[in-house]
């Protein structure tokens, strides 16, 4: 039991002596002081965020929203593939010179990568910790099984794991080019087309984007709720925004392998 | 006929009169202030050395526990529920009276005092009622400060309504859940003290006996309902806030586990029990639907503000209500009481319903119901307005009966709701056992023979927040703290009594369930000591109850053991006490050969069938002293004097 | 009507339990669900068996004592308490599963009875307004705008039955805690303790072993009093506000 909790009354005995009344007797002449209010958590913002469930959820929500913002930018960039190899490759080059001449070559990109890695780690760690706690809070299942909640809600944990694995593959495929056969550094357009010219590249990518859609469908709304911005007046609008944005992101990302497969992009 | 010569009195003996010695003399408006000034105070530094046991966590108990702990006393508190928040005060719907006069409609402390004494049919003590009215004002302040979400007007100020037929709007309310909100306020204040370590809370623990040492209440014997362990808790004073005994009737609006064991055990240990026959029957309850019925549900009396009560003119008219034409309906309250109509006091409305049902004009299953019709109200105000006022009650009714009250008239029938009788207490709320105090519905003090609507919450909170904390301090200041040994023979005796009794219940191993006895006793009491009482009926009940008690101890079957959570054992033990209390109720009803308030003796009525009070012979509170089970108790009278509100016969015609 | 109840029987906190089927005859549509349990218990006692232990008290849906999971739903198929659920919600011949609330913070005491004292400790941690008796100003000293009073009331309706925890796949008490925080933090009287209240209540809630909220919305669906899911959002907002201020 954590410190500061009132001890659960233990019904010890058969006879309680009135002499117990003298225990905790205050100093003579001083009125009985009201015991200090027990503090459940240290009163600092980082401690509150890290130790409480609500705080961890906040970290989860904020890191998720950071990744979502990145995804939106990422999608906008990706869609440039429809304007041809030159424009797409130029865009790839611009990303590396972003912020110049103040920032050195690729500094901005690395900054983004650091923030993203931090978001991924925080998102993963808090999700893992919260999940462990949630599972421990409901150790016995009901005998009578009943489908609860929506598919998107139930698949958050495994969907998150799938997305994590996808990100690893995605980096090995198109950033480090480790697993991409025929890859050439500095030619993102050609590399992308190469990926989506394989059946497994398409399967992995499309599966992951569907998982992303489901994850966002519960995740975005959930993050807004966690950050305390979901009021009764906004509930419906928020649901609509969530569903639309999840759909747009999923369709947007999937449009690229589809375009390669159908020969629109080659 | 003088009480002394009444043949009924063979069943008891008469002792010395009892008087309230605690109320100071003088102008009634100054008595409470004077009492508070004369009360001795405990040095704040010493308060922690005094332990006070509070049994019950309803409005009175919760408020008392929280307040005593705030003052610095060490409080040990008990409730049989799993949480102090569940006490049955939570079910009160209508509201709470207070003489705030925010409406500027002529209300005042004196008017509330007057209304309460008159409403109680002149069987309450003037000093206590005057104090209740005075304190009522502070209760609202206290509750608002605690965050009780009372109904408010658009200006942000508190809304009030008129309730129970009084002519001023002095009832504060929180939709139909006033009791819940007030109780949660007290519970939260109590929880704060529990968290701070000032109150040692024992939930799921039931008081089974009182420990009296050298004539003074020094503790209780309680059973931990989870482990079955019998515990003794000793203290410097014991406060009973255990509510009323309406469940003796089996079917009542009380919670299923509300019981009379604490007060009855205290009575057996020497506390006088006053006016046990003063029970209140509430006219607007949902009728029973069959033999399986486990309890009755009340609907706020505010329904009578706009609903019209009727039965068919013809006996045994089985047509659906909407098929009965207007001229074949009997709006009997409007017919009998043209000036008050459907808003006559509870006892009158209840009795009138019983009369028409006894005539064979009742409606619904078993003919035990009358219609409460909102068709006119819907026509007059529109459905939206009716919904605004009564929506939650209509929903509740529809949930239980599956009938839509907007389309079909509600069916209602009276049910036992509140008990005005209880442990006799003086002005300090102290019983005849020094150191034993009774607050809220557990005492008899403020409502006389009939309680007005929205006054129970007022009394519970007045006792708990303001009155007891002031008077208990005086008692404690006169005694040194502690100083009682757990090895005292009286402690061992009380524990042994309790254990023997529980073991006996478990050992009988008969062939009847606890519930079957409860149902039988309840039916008997409802028939003979319910809405209308007669001498032959009461005599019959007084013969039957000892026989039933006998049978109980021969044929009861309690499965399981005493060393575990055993709800059958809890129930059987409570019923064993009901079987003794019921006898005293009938005896009290028999001896009080007058009608007053909720006590209607068929022999004592006016030519037009109204209750006829007999002030010459019965202007007293009957305080009963226990002798032994099945043996004649001793009656001590407390003569009631009315200096400020002169008794008149109530008339609502 | 005749129904088969499959009831979770567990003799004590540490004993193993299991579902036991009982046929109950003579059920009428007007009976409440708890009255069917009463009927079963009467029969069990006469047959020499142990009756089913279950919590109940007011039987009018306000005390919050009763609560069982019926066919996988807290309080059964309708939005009400088990005591106000009537058998007309079931059909003749139905097999009905009856289980206790499941959450590690609500350990089973016996059969269908669980220990919900964790809720009391959450309230004790800060679910109150400090207003010692006798210290209150006149009730009209602080007007409360009607909308605030209404919001406070709607959240104060919580009966502490625990259905939200039982329904939540994470055994989370967020809805319960949120209801009290919103009730008190909405009122001007609750303002002085606004920050400490939410921090301490959430802290206690966590210490009791309740799970976190994953916004499944199951709690608000199960709540017999209709406490809205947005209460949890408000609780989060209050928490973050208090956390910022305490930094």
Active site residues of B: 346
Of the candidates A15, A28, A30, the beta carbon closest to that of B486 is on A15
**Which pLDDT belongs to residue B645?**
95
pLDDT beyond 50 at A2: no
pLDDT beyond 70 at A5: no
* Confidence at A41, pLDDT banded by 50, 70, 90: low
What percent of chain A has pLDDT above 90? 65
Count of B–C CB contacts within 8 Å?
220
pLDDT beyond 70 at C197: yes
Closest-CA distance of chain B to residue A34, Å: 7
CATH number at residue B499: 1.20.58.100
Q: CB of C144 within 8 Å of any CB in chain B?
A: yes
SS3 C211: strand
Tell me the three-class secondary structure of B586-626, residue by residue: HHHHHHCCCCECCECECCCECCCCCECCCHHHHCEEEEEEC
Condensed to tens digits (0 to 9), the pLDDT of residues B255-288 reads 999 999 999 999 999 999 999 999 999 999 999 9
Average of per-residue pLDDT across B443-447: 95
CB contact under 8 A, C146 and B102: no
Condensed to tens digits (0 to 9), the pLDDT of residues A43-54 reads 788 889 999 999
Q: CB of B91 within 8 Å of any CB in chain C?
A: yes
pLDDT beyond 60 at C58: yes
Shared domain for B494 and B591, answered yes or no, is yes
Shared domain for B412 and B498, answered yes or no, is no
pLDDT beyond 90 at C70: yes
| Average per-residue pLDDT for chain C | 96
**Which pLDDT belongs to residue B277?**
97
pLDDT beyond 50 at A1: no
**Which pLDDT belongs to residue B340?**
86
| Average per-residue pLDDT for chain B | 94
* B182 belongs to a structural domain: no
CB contact under 8 A, C73 and A146: yes
Find residue B437's DSSP bridge partners: B239, B430
**Which pLDDT belongs to residue A259?**
95
The architecture in CATH of the region A45-139+149-262 reads Up-down Bundle (1.20)
* Confidence at B443, pLDDT banded by 50, 70, 90: very high
Q: Is B145 in contact with B186 (CB distance < 8 Å)?
A: no
Find chain A residues with C-beta within 8 A of B481's C-beta: 21
Average of per-residue pLDDT across C183-211: 96
Residue A230 DSSP one-character state? -
* Confidence at A18, pLDDT banded by 50, 70, 90: very low
pLDDT beyond 80 at C247: no
**C-alpha span between A170 and C200 (Å, rounded):** 44
Domain spans in chain A, listed from the N-terminal domain onward: 45-139+149-262
Interface with chain C: mutation pick from A48, A137, A216, A239, highest number of C CBs within 10 Å: A137
Average of per-residue pLDDT across A137-145: 95
Q: Which domain holds residue B583?
A: 487-618
Find chain A residues with C-beta within 8 A of B230's C-beta: 14
Of the candidates A1, A48, A138, the beta carbon closest to that of C243 is on A48
End-to-end C-alpha distance for chain B, whole angstroms: 28
Measured in whole angstroms, the distance separating CA B527 from the mean position of its chain's CA atoms is 20
Average of per-residue pLDDT across C23-48: 96
Last residue within a domain, chosen from B393, B416, B439: B416
* Confidence at A124, pLDDT banded by 50, 70, 90: very high
**Which pLDDT belongs to residue B6?**
40
Range with the largest mean pLDDT of A191-200, B335-344, B550-559: B550-559
* B533 belongs to a structural domain: yes
pLDDT beyond 50 at A27: no
**Which pLDDT belongs to residue A29?**
38
pLDDT beyond 90 at B27: yes
CB contact under 8 A, A16 and B72: no
Average of per-residue pLDDT across B39-49: 95
Range with the lowest mean pLDDT among A1-10, A82-91, B620-629? A1-10
Interface with chain A: mutation pick from C10, C239, C241, C244, highest number of A CBs within 10 Å: C239
List, as one string, the DSSP characters of B310-352.
EEESSTT--S-GGGS-GGGEE-HHHHH-TTTGGGS-HHHHHHH
**Which pLDDT belongs to residue B111?**
96
**C-alpha span between B60 and B67 (Å, rounded):** 11
Length of chain A counted residue by residue: 266
* B428 belongs to a structural domain: no
Find chain B residues with C-beta within 8 A of A19's C-beta: 482
CATH number at residue B341: 3.90.700.10
Length of chain B counted residue by residue: 653
Condensed to tens digits (0 to 9), the pLDDT of residues A197-230 reads 999 999 999 999 999 999 999 999 999 999 998 8
Condensed to tens digits (0 to 9), the pLDDT of residues C158-192 reads 999 999 999 999 999 999 999 999 999 999 999 99
* Confidence at A39, pLDDT banded by 50, 70, 90: low
Secondary-structure percent of chain A, ordered helix, strand, coil, rounded to 5: 65, 0, 35
**Which pLDDT belongs to residue B648?**
87
| Of the candidates A149, A45, A232, the residue with the CA atom closest to the CA atom of residue C234 | A232
Of the candidates C51, C60, C115, the beta carbon closest to that of B568 is on C51
* B159 belongs to a structural domain: no
Condensed to tens digits (0 to 9), the pLDDT of residues B523-544 reads 999 999 999 999 999 999 999 9
Range with the lowest mean pLDDT among A89-93, A164-168, B436-440? A89-93
CB contact under 8 A, A141 and C102: yes
Average of per-residue pLDDT across A87-104: 91
Of the candidates B44, B227, B484, the beta carbon closest to that of A31 is on B44
Interface with chain C: mutation pick from A38, A40, A61, highest number of C CBs within 10 Å: A40
* Confidence at B5, pLDDT banded by 50, 70, 90: very low
CB contact under 8 A, B233 and A32: no
**C-alpha span between B144 and C189 (Å, rounded):** 8
CB contact under 8 A, C131 and B469: no
pLDDT beyond 90 at A15: no
Token code pair at residue A100: 């110049």
pLDDT beyond 60 at B194: yes
| ipTM of the complex, rounded to two decimals | 0.98
CB contact under 8 A, C62 and B91: yes
Average of per-residue pLDDT across B146-162: 95
pLDDT beyond 80 at B90: yes
User: Of B300 and B540, which is predicted with more confidence?
Assistant: B540
Condensed to tens digits (0 to 9), the pLDDT of residues B560-584 reads 999 999 999 999 999 999 999 999 9
| Average per-residue pLDDT for chain A | 84
Count of A–C CB contacts within 8 Å?
168
Task: Find all residues with CB under 8 Å of A12, minimum gap 6, and list them.
Answer: none
**C-alpha span between B558 and B294 (Å, rounded):** 19
* Confidence at A236, pLDDT banded by 50, 70, 90: confident
Closest-CA distance of chain C to residue B351, Å: 25
CB contact under 8 A, C157 and B177: yes
- Nearest residue of chain C to residue B285 (CA atoms): C60
* B527 belongs to a structural domain: yes
Range with the lowest mean pLDDT among A90-99, B27-36, B588-597, C139-148? A90-99
Sorted by where each starts, the structural domains of chain C and their CATH numbers stand as: 3-110 (3.10.20.30), 117-246 (1.10.1060.10)
Domain count, chain B: 2
Find chain C residues with C-beta within 8 A of B150's C-beta: 149
| Of the candidates A250, A149, C55, the residue with the CA atom closest to the CA atom of residue B255 | C55
What percent of chain B has pLDDT above 90? 88
pLDDT beyond 90 at B178: yes
SS3 C179: helix
* B318 belongs to a structural domain: yes
**B317 vs A173, B79, B362, B364, B462, CA distance in Å?**
86, 48, 9, 11, 48
Condensed to tens digits (0 to 9), the pLDDT of residues B201-220 reads 999 999 999 999 999 999 99
Range with the lowest mean pLDDT among A21-25, A157-161, B387-391, C136-140? A21-25
**C-alpha span between A8 and C121 (Å, rounded):** 9
**C-alpha span between B136 and B170 (Å, rounded):** 10
User: Of A44 and B596, which is predicted with more confidence?
Assistant: B596
């Amino acid at each position: 039991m954590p410190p500061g909790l009132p001890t659960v009354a233990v019904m010890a005995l058969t006879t309680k002596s009135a002499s117990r009344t003298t225990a905790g007797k205050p100093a003579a002449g001083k009125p009985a002081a009201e015991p200090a209010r027990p503090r459940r958590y240290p009163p600092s913002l980082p401690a509150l965020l890290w130790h409480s469930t609500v705080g961890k959820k906040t970290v989860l929500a904020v890191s998720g929203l950071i990744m979502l913002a990145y995804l939106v930018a990422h999608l906008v960039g990706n869609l440039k593939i429809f304007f041809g190899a030159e424009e797409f490759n130029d865009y790839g080059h611009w990303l590396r010179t972003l912020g110049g001449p103040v920032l050195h070559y690729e500094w901005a990109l690395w900054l983004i990568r650091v923030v993203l890695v931090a978001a991924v780690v925080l998102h993963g760690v808090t999700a893992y910790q919260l999940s462990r706690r949630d599972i421990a809070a409901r150790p016995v299942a009901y005998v009578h099984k009943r489908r609860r909640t929506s598919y998107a809600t139930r698949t958050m944990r495994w969907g998150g794991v799938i997305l994590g694995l996808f990100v690893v593959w995605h980096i090995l495929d198109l950033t480090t080019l480790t697993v991409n056969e025929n890859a050439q550094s500095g030619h993102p357009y050609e590399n992308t087309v190469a990926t989506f010219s394989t059946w497994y590249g398409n399967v992995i990518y499309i599966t992951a984007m569907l998982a992303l859609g489901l994850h966002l469908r519960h995740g975005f709304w959930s993050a807004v709720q966690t950050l305390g911005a979901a009021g009764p007046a906004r509930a419906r609008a928020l649901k609509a925004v969530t569903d639309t944005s999840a759909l747009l992101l999923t369709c947007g990302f999937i449009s690229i392998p589809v375009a390669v497969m159908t020969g629109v992009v080659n | 006929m003088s009480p002394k010569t009444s043949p009924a009195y063979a069943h008891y003996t008469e002792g010395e009169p009892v008087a309230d010695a605690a109320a100071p003399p003088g102008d009634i408006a100054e008595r409470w202030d004077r009492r508070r000034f004369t009360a001795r105070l405990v040095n704040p530094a010493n308060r922690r050395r005094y332990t006070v046991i509070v049994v019950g966590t309803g409005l009175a108990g919760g408020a008392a526990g929280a307040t005593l702990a705030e003052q610095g006393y060490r409080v040990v508190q008990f409730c049989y529920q799993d949480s102090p928040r569940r006490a049955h005060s939570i079910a009160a719907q209508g509201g709470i009276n207070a003489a705030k006069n925010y409406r500027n409609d002529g209300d005042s402390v004196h008017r509330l005092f007057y209304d309460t004494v008159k409403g109680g049919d002149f069987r309450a003590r003037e000093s206590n009622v005057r104090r209740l009215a005075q304190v009522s004002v502070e209760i609202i302040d206290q509750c608002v400060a605690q965050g009780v979400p009372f109904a408010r007007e658009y200006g942000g100020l508190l809304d009030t309504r008129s309730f129970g037929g009084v002519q001023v709007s002095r009832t504060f309310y929180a939709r139909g859940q006033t009791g819940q909100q007030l109780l949660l306020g007290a519970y939260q204040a109590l929880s704060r003290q529990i968290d701070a370590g000032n109150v040692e809370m024992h939930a799921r623990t039931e008081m089974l006996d009182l420990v009296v040492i050298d004539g003074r209440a020094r503790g209780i014997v309680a059973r931990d309902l989870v482990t079955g362990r019998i515990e003794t808790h000793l203290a410097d004073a014991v406060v009973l806030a255990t509510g009323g005994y309406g469940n003796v009737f089996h079917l009542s609006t009380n919670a299923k586990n509300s019981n009379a064991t604490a007060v009855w055990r205290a009575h057996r240990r020497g506390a006088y029990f006053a006016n046990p026959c003063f029970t209140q029957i509430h006219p607007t309850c949902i009728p029973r639907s069959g033999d399986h019925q486990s309890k009755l549900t009340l609907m706020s009396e505010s329904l009578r503000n706009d609903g019209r009560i009727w039965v068919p003119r013809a006996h045994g008219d089985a047509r659906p209500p909407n098929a009965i034409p207007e001229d074949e309906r009997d709006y009997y309250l409007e017919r009998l009481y043209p000036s008050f109509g459907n808003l006559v006091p509870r006892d009158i409305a209840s009795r009138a319903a019983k009369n028409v049902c006894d005539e064979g004009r009742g409606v619904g299953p078993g003919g035990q119901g009358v219609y409460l019709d909102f068709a006119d109200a819907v026509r007059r105000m529109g459905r939206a307005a009716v919904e605004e006022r009564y929506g939650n009650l209509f929903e509740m009714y529809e949930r239980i009966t599956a009938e839509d009250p907007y389309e079909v008239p509600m069916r209602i029938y009276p049910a036992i709701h509140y008990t005005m009788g209880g442990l006799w207490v003086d002005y300090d709320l102290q019983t005849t056992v020094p150191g034993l105090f009774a607050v809220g519905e557990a005492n008899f003090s403020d409502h006389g023979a009939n309680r007005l609507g929205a006054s129970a919450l007022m009394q519970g909170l007045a006792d708990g927040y303001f009155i007891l904390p002031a008077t208990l301090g005086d008692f404690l200041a006169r005694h040194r703290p502690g100083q009682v040994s757990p090895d005292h023979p009286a402690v061992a005796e009380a524990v042994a009594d309790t254990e023997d009794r529980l073991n006996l219940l478990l050992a009988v191993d008969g062939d009847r369930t606890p519930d079957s006895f409860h149902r039988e006793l309840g039916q008997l009491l409802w028939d003979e000591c319910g809405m209308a009482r007669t001498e032959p009926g009461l005599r019959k009940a007084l013969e039957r109850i000892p026989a039933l008690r006998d049978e109980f101890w021969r044929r009861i079957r309690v499965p399981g053991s005493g060393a575990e959570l055993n709800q059958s054992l809890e129930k059987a033990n409570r019923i064993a006490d009901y079987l003794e209390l019921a006898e005293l109720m009938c005896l009290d009803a028999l001896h009080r050969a007058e009608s007053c308030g909720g006590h209607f003796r068929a022999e004592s009525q006016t030519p037009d069938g109204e209750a006829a009070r007999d002030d010459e012979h019965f202007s007293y509170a009957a305080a009963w002293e226990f002798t032994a089970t099945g043996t004649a108790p001793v009656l001590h009278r407390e003569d009631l004097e009315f200096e400020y509100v002169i008794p008149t016969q109530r008339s609502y015609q | 009507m005749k129904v088969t109840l499959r009831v979770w029987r567990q003799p004590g906190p540490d004993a193993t339990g299991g579902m036991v089927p009982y046929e109950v005859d003579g059920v009428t549509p007007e009976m409440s669900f708890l009255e069917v349990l009463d009927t079963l218990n009467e029969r069990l006692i006469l047959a020499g068996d142990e009756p089913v232990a279950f919590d109940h008290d007011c039987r009018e849906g306000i005390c919050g004592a009763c609560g069982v999971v019926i066919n996988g739903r807290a309080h059964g198929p309708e939005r009400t308490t088990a005591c106000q659920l009537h058998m007309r919600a079931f059909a003749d011949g139905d097999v009905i599963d009856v289980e206790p609330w499941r959450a590690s913070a609500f350990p089973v005491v016996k059969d269908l009875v669980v220990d919900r004292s964790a809720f009391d400790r959450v309230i004790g941690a800060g679910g109150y307004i400090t207003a010692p008796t006798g210290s209150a100003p006149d009730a009209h000293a602080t007007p409360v705008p009607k909308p605030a009073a209404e919001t406070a009331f709607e959240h104060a309706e919580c009966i502490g039955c625990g259905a939200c925890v039982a329904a939540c796949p994470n055994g989370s008490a967020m809805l319960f805690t949120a209801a009290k925080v919103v009730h008190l933090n909405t009122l001007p009287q609750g303002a002085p303790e606004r920050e400490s209240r939410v921090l301490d209540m959430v802290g206690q809630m966590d210490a009791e072993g309740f799970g976190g909220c994953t916004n499944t919305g199951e709690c608000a669906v199960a709540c017999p009093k209709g406490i809205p899911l947005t209460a949890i959002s408000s609780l989060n907002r209050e928490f973050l506000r208090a956390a910022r201020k305490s930094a």
